[in-house]
Amino acid sequence: MNSDQTPFPAEPGGGQWHPVENPGTGAFASKTAGWTADRLSTGTGGMAVDFSSVVPVGTRAVMVNVAKGGVSGGHIYYRAHSDTEISNTPAASGEVSHRIASIDGVTGVYERVALSLSADYKIEIAVTDTAQDISVSYPDWYML
């Protein structure tokens, strides 16, 4: 919703943002240990977040807050689950298109981001410093 309470305009490609009815509060998902640096694949130390229980069928993206704690260094990357347009090791590949940049190098902060979802409503997250703590809020907007 825009500041004047009018709905967001339709996005290119036909998507339209909708508010989530009674969104949850607090963290929807979090991870504080078990990371492998620079790995998006969840089987090798990344983090998967499955939004299928909180968004309607056909959702293409969600608006969430991603919070970072732990250490002040490192980067955070995301992608839609199994997206082949970004490698499993985004930092080593020099990819910045999927980096959540404004919370790089600091701690105790969050970034409001729109995240594209896979067809199974999942995203994957990677960090470059394994001492980072990451949490993802419940979505309060979704795009069909």
Domain membership of residue 101 (yes or no) is: yes
What's the whole-number mean pLDDT along residues 99-104? 73
pLDDT in tens, 103-117: 766 777 888 999 999
Read off the pTM: 0.84
Tally of domains in the chain: 1
| Strand residue runs (E) in 36-108 | 47-50, 61-69, 76-80
Q: Cα torsion at 46, 126, 34, 92 (round to 10°)?
A: 100
Would you say 90 and 98 are in contact if contact means Cβ atoms under 8 Å apart? yes
| Domain boundaries, position 111 | 27-143
Domain membership of residue 4 (yes or no) is: no
Residue 83 has a pLDDT of 85
pLDDT in tens, 44-77: 788 999 999 999 999 999 999 999 888 777 888 9
Residue 10 has a pLDDT of 58
